[in-house]
Structure 1
Amino acid sequence: MTTAAAAGENLKKMPLPPAPFISSVMQIEPQWIDYNGHLNMAYYNVMMDRAIDEMWLQLGIGPAYMKARHCSTFTAEAHVRYLREIHLGDPVQIAVYLLGNDEKRLHTFEELRHATEGWLSATSENMTLHMDMKARKVAPFPPDIRARIEQVTASHAAVPRPVGIGRKVAMPQK
């Protein structure tokens, strides 16, 4: 059996991510705190990216997928909203919603929350591209992966949509 075929067999046995996907609890690292005494803006993205990586593992498009099928994902666009400060010692957890997809793209929304108190600290809305890593070009998902993506998108569509989807950066109207 080829590596890709074995990966496909293992994929069939993997449970689908829940709706929404909830990451593991993460801790703020001391070097991420800036001179304002709170989490630097760049590290919100680091934590949300780690949560996406956790979900991608369950979706079947993590590092093993890259190795077996020579495909991966790249973020093409992100819109982060910083709503409440996170500080050193605050545990965080991220909910990931798979909002939509087509043959080559995934539309996700993440909510970063304080893991024990539940308040919302930040959100990130993203467009992700599926990449053929040999050609370094955007490419369609394989049919088995696309089927999993469709199932997860449908299950995520059944839960209430979080506030903030579709926001844009603009000055308030007077």
Structure 2
Amino acid sequence: MQFDAPFLSDFMELEQDWIDYNGHLNMAYYSVLFDRGVDQIWERLGFGAGYREKRGFTTFSAEFHICYLREVHLGSRVRASFQLLDHDEKRFHFYQELIHEDGWISATGEGLGLHIDMSGPKVAPMPEDILQNMRALAKAHADLPVPDRVGRPMGIPKKPT
């Protein structure tokens, strides 16, 4: 299976209900856009909508960090990138960007996902065919540089006294 490096979703339009009283995209909907952008590559990997019903597995987010870089407003169209940074049989570490149709980056996200057996639910190894797809994605993304925003700590820097 061949994968783009990085993967780019189709363009997505902001919805009126997502705009807050400041006139820009409410912070909660950045997560929605990142998640919707992943849906397309999830289908290619085999994690799509039918995965849970057919095989009894799914994916859950364990952690996700967003950096808001530039506001987007109603009428904007964005696409989500997806770069696989690392994975094992149960987990995957990834990086995403929300890219405005004019080419600038609105937000970045870094996440840790888990493969879940819904009979528990519990973290469980991926079936071999899915793991092969993850390996193919990892190979496609192996030569991409690690983005500067990966692994950033959050906190208030202390000034020297």
Give yes or no for TM over 0.5: yes
CA distance in 2, matches of 1:144, 1:82: 36
CA distance in 1, matches of 2:158, 2:12: 38
User: Match for 1:156 among 134, 141, 144?
Assistant: 141
Match of 2:73 in 1: 87
CA distance in 2, matches of 1:75, 1:64: 18
1:171 matched to 2:156? The reply is: yes
Do the aligned partners of 1:16 and 1:58 also contact (CA within 8 Å) in 2? no
Do the aligned partners of 1:70 and 1:132 also contact (CA within 8 Å) in 2? yes
Match of 1:5 in 2: none
Match of 1:124 in 2: 109
Match of 1:74 in 2: 60
User: Match for 1:147 among 132, 145, 161?
Assistant: 132
Stretches of structure 2 that go unaligned for 5 or more consecutive residues are none
User: Match for 1:26 among 12, 15, 20?
Assistant: 12
CA distance in 2, matches of 1:16, 1:68: 24
1:12-50 Cα offsets, whole Å, 9 max, x none, are: xxx443111100100010110001110000000000000
Distance apart, 1:113 and its partner CA: 1.0
Number of residue pairs the alignment of both structures matches = 159
User: Match for 1:38 among 24, 46, 51?
Assistant: 24
1:58-86 Cα offsets, whole Å, 9 max, x none, are: 11111122221110000000100001101
More helix by share: 1
Please give the root-mean-square deviation of Cα atoms over the aligned residues, in Å: 1.1
User: Match for 2:84 among 84, 94, 98?
Assistant: 98
Do the aligned partners of 1:83 and 1:122 also contact (CA within 8 Å) in 2? yes
CA distance in 2, matches of 1:33, 1:65: 32
TM-score, L = length of structure 1: 0.88
Distance apart, 1:163 and its partner CA: 2.6
Do the aligned partners of 2:3 and 2:136 also contact (CA within 8 Å) in 1? no
Aligned sequence identity (%): 48
